Structure 1
């Protein structure tokens, strides 16, 4: 009898790293609750594989030195430190000859860089808000602005809406200068400043699979009515500790959803994503979508985007997640082309 494939899980949970007093309050916002790891392990068992909980990238490095044997691995580890942090685990797996589910190191590094990603989006024919990059507040002048106010400021190499406050939407040169100073000082990196798209709502599209990839039903996000900023960005771990008001802006028509899916698939393929990604958009008052950013390491938390999509598709989340994982495991030839597991075929 053939042995059960061993699939490693590389991940960061909230207490995975020690942080210093000078680190941002949302330094661990990209990390996961242990429930996410539990959900992935359960899904892997439904795929008739054996989940192996490895832990962080540092744990992976140590265990590889000790002879860790895996048939494949799934990494959701965000890492710590440099703009290449999401690529650390994939590089170790590549060096060890272990097939990896999900996007490779190059794609993960590029997509963490918001400016590089927007350059490639433009090449792919996908509209994105006009933008520029500032390294320090002294560079901010009226002639250096990428568009008319309002503008939006965010760290260049962060995910999970890290750094976003109501003050990140600015309406004057002085306010922009202050926000650039705050973010560059706190996160020790460049910031991206882009036109703030408003009037038609905020949406996210999940894409799964390969050859061809599939865009799943779009989700409309609530916005904070005073600023128009997505509530999810303000409610992140380590963000402002307060209750936010909600508003739904714009309408998700069939035509808009089709355009969102089209643009999401174009950017997914342009960036050579594999197996899964989540793509975020804002829509203007005329109904035109603008690409914001892409996350090929989206959360699989039981209360996150993919769990909501499973509910919209009338699927149980464990079976739905098993299906998503199985597509990539088939790509790696860890699973047969057609699984014998009815939960995956559904």
Structure 2
């Protein structure tokens, strides 16, 4: 149906691992779906929002087949609280041969695995923090022999800073072992251990593929955190708006950087975007070392696009209204789908 878009987000009533507070980031997508729907309606689209879970999966598929939308606006970041199933949702849209926003399942699966993403970037000469993925505590000491403390410790396959807190930067082996066991026990997955880069942190939002459009670079302002605290964007910093961590780590866009550094950051971000196969839109997180070399921390193929945050904030700094951003994402997805059919 022309001009009819179904917005599908993950309705996570249950969480399978981690802490109860981890559901905050998963449920934030409901607010994003409302923002997107409002923007689409104001752009003269007809809409339907569906919160996807195991109870209505079959009915949702039937609804897509019956209504024949021109597009699925895919906001699913998990399925039944399990972020490892995020790529499977996009795979359903592929099987239904329906246009949908964002990256294909293969890219979502790749970028959800921090270790696989790092290895791919390394193979293409894109700097990433030195580190490795470790499965068992028995391999911990031998695995880190060539790494320098302090080290960053985080789950391999979570996003939205799930599993990251103020103790995620460790300065000795005992603290590393304790943090490793904590993450392994809570999230039941391998653990990324990598050298902590104590430098400025940036995010680069990119939309489109032919050609990609890079929004102004945003910087995380760590100037208000305590002097001895590690400069990291932990879970509280991203999601718990009443916390000091959130208040003390605002995003500044455009970042106050030289044209040379900005160009270097954008160049590395664009390479990461293209090498990982991101489609439609994505966000690349980057840190500078002491030599102002950009290191890619993460490639987010399904980033937050809620009003006033992340990508929307960067788009606004480029003169894009929120409605223009959402309509642009829609146009890119439809054009790509129609192009693939020809």
The size of the alignment, in residue pairs, is 327
1:41 alignment partner, one of 37, 46, 50: 37
**Does residue 269 in structure 1 map to residue 290 in structure 2?**
no
Q: Which residue of 2 aligns with 1:12?
A: 10
Asked if structure 2 preserves the Cα contact closer than 8 Å seen for 1:10 and 1:57, the reply is no
1:210 deviation in Å? 1.0
- Asked if the contact 2:10–2:76 (Cα under 8 Å) also holds between the matched residues in 1, the reply is yes
Offset at 1:232? 5.6
2:163 corresponding residue in structure 1: 163
In structure 2, the residue matched to 1:342 is none
Q: Which residue of 1 aligns with 2:108?
A: 108
Q: Is the 8 A contact 2:33 2:75 kept in 1?
A: no
Match of 1:291 among 268, 280, 296: 296
Question: Which residue of structure 1 lines up, in the alignment, with residue 70 of structure 2?
Answer: 71
Q: What residue number does 1:236 align with?
A: 238
SS at match of 1:99: coil
Task: Give the conservation status (yes or no) of the 8 Å contact 1:140–1:177.
Answer: yes
1:190-269 aligned at under 5 Å gives the runs: 190-199=190-199, 201-223=200-222, 224-225=225-226, 226-231=228-233, 233-237=235-239, 242-244=243-245, 246=248, 252-269=257-274
Q: From the two aligned structures, give the one with the greater helix fraction.
A: 2
Q: Distance in 1 between matches of 2:248 and 2:307?
A: 22
Choose from 306, 312, 321 the match for 2:326: 321
For residues 247 and 306 of structure 1, the distance between their equivalents in structure 2, rounded to whole angstroms, comes to 16
Structure 1 segment 53-72 matched on structure 2, within 5 A: 53-58=49-54, 59-65=56-62, 67-69=65-67, 70-72=69-71
Q: What is the Cα deviation at residue 238 of structure 1?
A: 6.6
Q: Is the 8 A contact 1:204 1:219 kept in 2?
A: yes
Displacement of 1:45: 3.2
For residues 230-279 of structure 1, what are the alpha-carbon distances to aligned partners after superposition, in whole Å with 9 as ceiling and x for unaligned?
Answer: 3464423479x742373799952211111111111111111111100000
- Corresponding residue for residue 343 of structure 1: none
Q: CA deviation at 1:321?
A: 2.8
**Any runs of at least 4 consecutive aligned residues in structure 1 with deviations exceeding 6 A, and if so which?**
247-250
CA distance in 2, matches of 1:46, 1:333: 24
CA shift, 1:160, in A, is 0.3
Partner residue in 1 for 2:20: 25
Task: Tell me how far apart the structure 2 counterparts of residues 31 and 291 of structure 1 sit (CA, whole Å).
Answer: 27
State the alpha-carbon separation in 1 of the partners of residues 334 and 3 from structure 2: 10
Distance 1:43 1:329, change over 3 A: farther
In structure 1, distance between residues paired with 2:285 and 2:166: 19
Conserved? CA contact 2:87–2:105, under 8 Å = yes
How far did residue 146 of structure 1 move?
Answer: 4.8
- CA–CA distance in 1 between the matches of 2:140 and 2:275? 32
Structure 1 runs not aligned, ≥5 long: 335-346
Query: How large is the Cα RMSD of the aligned pairs?
Result: 2.6
* Counterpart position of 1:179: 179
CA contact 1:216–1:309 (8 Å) conserved in 2 = yes
